[in-house]
């Protein structure tokens, strides 16, 4: 059976309250029935992957569940209720893994189930842990890719995600189809050049790329329903 991945993004006005919840909820997730993997994440524009991208008014959780029942039970739990009470908007995206390469904190959270055809919208999740000595060259390569991403056909939305403002960063993006995602990732020159340079430049100590089928989207991000 394929896992169920869920991204929540909450928009808040109180930064201190959000920071308090981020610290508290790391402990609260431990031992949750059916939970395979979880990360509490800051968000940002993803334009440079530096501190200036950070958005202190939007925070996220990414969870991966053994089954739909466990994911549904989480929705009525204390963590989600607490963030909902704090937030003025929420985006929730439910997904199932289609393909995944690499690891996140040593784990493979998006191992897909049996291969199946999917013709609908997809999400892409990337995550990387930068090597400190290679960070400057990586940051110089980012703006061209970010600029090209914003104009890519088939893109519904994108945001930066990460466990820390610098060094542990990733992206979450929604696409009309797998073809649109593949076109950006492997056919448009700015991103293709970064892919080609990754191995020789040695930017990452760890990296992950996952493609997931969209099962459900509800809510808004920055006032827009993607």
Q: What is the pLDDT of residues 49-71, one digit of tens each?
A: 667 788 999 999 999 999 999 99
The residue ranking higher by pLDDT, 35 or 141, is: 35
Domains identified in the chain and CATH numbers: 4-219 (3.30.70.100)
pLDDT digits (tens, 9 = 90+) for 131-188: 877 666 665 656 555 666 677 889 999 999 998 876 678 899 999 999 998 888 776 5
* Res 1 pLDDT > 60: no
Other CB atoms within 10 Å distance of the CB of residue 221 = 21
Confidence of residue 4 (pLDDT cuts 50, 70, 90): very high
What is the average pLDDT across 208-218? 95
Strand partners, 174: 123, 157
Strand partners, 129: 168, 206
pLDDT for 138 equals 66
Q: How far is CA 76 from the centre of its chain?
A: 22
What is the average pLDDT across 80-101? 96
What is the average pLDDT across 8-27? 94
The residue ranking higher by pLDDT, 2 or 72, is: 72
């Amino acid at each position: 059976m394929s896992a169920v991945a869920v991204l929540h993004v909450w928009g808040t006005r109180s930064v201190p309250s959000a920071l308090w919840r981020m610290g508290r909820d790391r402990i609260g997730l431990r031992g949750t029935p059916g939970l395979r993997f979880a990360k509490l994440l800051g968000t940002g524009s993803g334009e440079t992957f530096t501190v200036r991208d950070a958005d202190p008014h939007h925070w996220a959780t990414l969870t991966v569940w053994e089954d739909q029942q466990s994911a549904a039970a989480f929705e009525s739990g204390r963590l989600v209720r607490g963030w909902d009470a704090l937030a003025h908007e929420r985006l929730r995206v439910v997904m199932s893994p289609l393909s995944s390469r690499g690891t996140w904190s040593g784990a493979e959270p998006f191992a897909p189930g049996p291969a199946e055809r999917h013709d609908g919208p997809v999400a892409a999740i990337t995550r990387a842990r930068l090597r400190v000595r290679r960070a400057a060259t990586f940051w110089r390569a980012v703006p061209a890719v970010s600029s090209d991403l914003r104009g890519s056909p088939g893109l519904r939305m994108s945001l930066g995600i990460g466990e820390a403002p610098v060094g542990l960063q990733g992206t979450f993006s929604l696409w009309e189809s797998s073809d649109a995602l593949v076109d950006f990732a492997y056919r448009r020159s700015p991103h293709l050049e970064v892919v080609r340079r990754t191995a020789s430049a040695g930017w990452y100590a760890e990296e992950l790329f996952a493609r997931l089928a969209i099962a459900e989207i509800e809510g808004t991000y920055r006032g827009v329903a993607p």
